Structure 1
Amino acid sequence: MSEPNGQPTSASGAKLFKVAFDLEEERPNWPPVSVERLWGEKTTTKLEIRVVNTPFFVRGISFGDLIQVRPDNERRELVFENFTSESGHSTVRIILLQGTEREIVESRLQVAGCSWELANAFGNLLAVDIPSTVEYCELREWLLAQVRAGRIEIQESAISSVHRQQLPSFP
């Protein structure tokens, strides 16, 4: 959704802003980008933003989390400064190793109550938002079974305290 002036807005009508997250290389060629930009909406706290989409590469951030930003006048954009508080959502990335698995994985995620984002440039990568209401332990067991079967790879990028409490032993 967007206003007549082209400024994107959230479902609640709040103006959305892009926030740049500078990424460090974790291993050669990963992540495949040096900056990821996420949408966010301002809160009532100065320079605080609520993230309103699911990151593909940023670690430790999920949909709904609160972050502080700083204006970077040279770059002409808002840049992530630090994490403020979690929303209870978790972020998991799924890499589809077999093209035939997309429907099965998406169906299971939908049944669980998750949403996900796709990027055209990374067709086999799903950025999955797991709301706090989802029973993550059960979903995680299913995902790990798919990993063991060689169908997918996963990266648990940001697991909320709500979901960590559901897991008997979390790394």
Structure 2
Amino acid sequence: MKLPEHARSKSDKPLEVVRFSIRQDEDGWPPVSVEALWAESRGLDRLSIVSVPFFVAGVAPGDVVLTVWHEGERWASTVDLRGGHSVIRVGTFPEERGETWAVDKLNEFENMGLTCESSGPPFWLVAVDIPAGADIASIKRHLESGEKVGLWEYEEACVGGEWQDA
């Protein structure tokens, strides 16, 4: 698993991989049943998420999760502490747009001071990490206006009260 450039330990601790089980809906979405994220140790069986999830719902960078070991792999069991970030997924239909679109969206959101990752083919999702204190109202307006004119669709993967109040 390749470590994204922004997913670095803030304390020089080695990063670990934690896996999340994902429930798929009747249409098979999301297209994976497991997602692995980078995380930093916070002590016995606790990890702080550092990468932006594409498919896991209810988890954001900075969240601390409790983990269990199963067959030599670390699995998240529950969120123990919220880190104050939100995650939004932005996507389009891959046959209409592709890599250029995803790179443009990454740049667009990063120019707003946000951290993003692109899933690449075949889905071309952009996972957007929105830190606490960001201009949520402006970000939300931007997302809604792009959706209204058909540039993308977005979903709230993990949002808190700050997002809901904007």
> Are residues 1:93 and 2:93 paired?
no
2:149 — aligned with what? 149
The TM-score with structure 1 as length reference comes to: 0.82
In 2: Cα distance, 1:157 partner to 1:13 partner: 28
Counting matched residue pairs gives: 156
1:20 — aligned with what? 19
In 1: Cα distance, 2:32 partner to 2:123 partner: 15
Structure number, greater radius of gyration: 1
The one-letter amino acid of 2:109's match is L
1:53 — aligned with what? 51
TM superposition shift of 1:25: 0.8
More displaced 10-residue stretch of structure 1: 127-136 or 99-108 = 99-108
In 2: Cα distance, 1:38 partner to 1:159 partner: 18
The TM-score with structure 2 as length reference comes to: 0.84
TM superposition shift of 1:119: 2.2
Q: Counterparts of 1:44-83 in structure 2 under 5 Å?
A: 44=43, 46-72=44-70, 74=71, 76-83=72-79
Unaligned runs of 5+ residues in structure 2 are 1-6
- Extract structure 1 runs of 4+ deviating beyond 6 A: none
Task: Spell out, residue by residue over 1:13-70, the C-alpha distance to the aligned partner (whole angstroms, 9 max, x if none).
Answer: 11111111011112412110110011111113x2110001000000000011111001
Contact 1:68–1:83 (8 Å) recurs in 2: yes
RMSD: 2.1
In 1: Cα distance, 2:82 partner to 2:122 partner: 27
More displaced 10-residue stretch of structure 1: 153-162 or 56-65 = 153-162
